[in-house]
């Protein structure tokens, strides 16, 4: 699926996965074994309001979105073996390669959508 910033008209990921059940949320991006997450890849985790990067090998950009898809918080470059705060307004989380939020000019308040 694609993750698109509708506000800025930019593509954040064109090969994003969806983690919408316990098993997929638990596995997350752990199967991505490289030294970094490839450009174009990502993961939408729903429902979710907090993430961790335990056992990850690379940093991630993390966007927390509400039920309408509005970005309510961002964490650029979340390092491996860290925990994000719990974001009570978030309904889902988008995990992206580090640097993608800045590259796409994504900001709090922007609206993200997913396209299959």
CB atoms within 10 A of CB 6: 12
pLDDT confidence of residue 45:
95
Q: For residue 1, which of 113, 92, 110 has the smallest C-alpha distance?
A: 113
State the architecture of 2-115 in CATH terms: Sandwich (2.60)
In sequence order, what are the beta bridge partners of 17? 43
pLDDT confidence of residue 18:
94
Residue pLDDT, tens place only, 21-33: 988 877 777 776 6
Residue carrying the six token digits 């506000």: 7
Mean predicted confidence (pLDDT) in 93-99: 97
Domain residue spans of the chain: 2-115
90: which 2 tokens?
Answer: 């978030």
Residue 17 in contact with residue 9, Cβ under 8 Å? no
């Amino acid at each position: 699926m694609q993750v698109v910033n509708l506000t800025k008209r930019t593509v954040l990921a064109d090969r994003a996965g969806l983690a919408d059940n316990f098993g997929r949320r638990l596995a997350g991006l752990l199967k991505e074994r490289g030294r970094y997450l490839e450009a174009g890849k990502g993961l939408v985790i729903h429902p979710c309001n907090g993430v961790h990067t335990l056992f990850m090998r690379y940093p991630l950009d993390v966007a927390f979105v509400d039920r309408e898809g509005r970005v309510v918080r961002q964490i650029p470059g979340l390092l491996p073996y860290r925990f994000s705060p719990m974001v009570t307004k978030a309904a889902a989380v988008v995990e992206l390669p580090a640097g993608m939020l800045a590259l796409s000019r994504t900001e709090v308040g922007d609206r993200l959508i997913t396209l299959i």
